[in-house]
Amino acid sequence: MRILIVEDNEIMMNVISHTLEEAGYKYVDKVKDGIKGLSMALDIDYDLIITPIHLKKLSGLNLIRSYRKNGGKAQILVLNIPLSNYIKKRLFDYEIVGLIQKPFLPSCLLSSVKRIEKKAFNEIEKNILRKIAVLIGEKFEFEDLKSNELLVLLQEKLVILKYLADKDLADKEETALILEESRPFLRKL
What DSSP string describes 88-131?
Answer: HHHHHHTT--EEEESS--HHHHHHHHHHHHHHHHHHHHHHHHHH
Tens-place pLDDT, residues 36-63: 999 999 999 898 999 998 888 888 889 9
User: Which pLDDT belongs to residue 4?
Assistant: 95
Tens-place pLDDT, residues 72-94: 988 899 888 766 777 777 777 87
User: Which pLDDT belongs to residue 189?
Assistant: 44
| Interatomic CA distance for residues 177 and 181, integer angstroms | 6
Closest C-alpha among 61, 66, 113 to residue 89: 61
User: Which pLDDT belongs to residue 17?
Assistant: 93
List all residues 6 or more positions away from 137 whose beta carbon is below 8 Å from its beta carbon: none
Tens-place pLDDT, residues 123-180: 777 778 878 877 777 777 777 777 677 777 777 888 887 878 787 777 888 888 888 8
User: Which pLDDT belongs to residue 152?
Assistant: 78
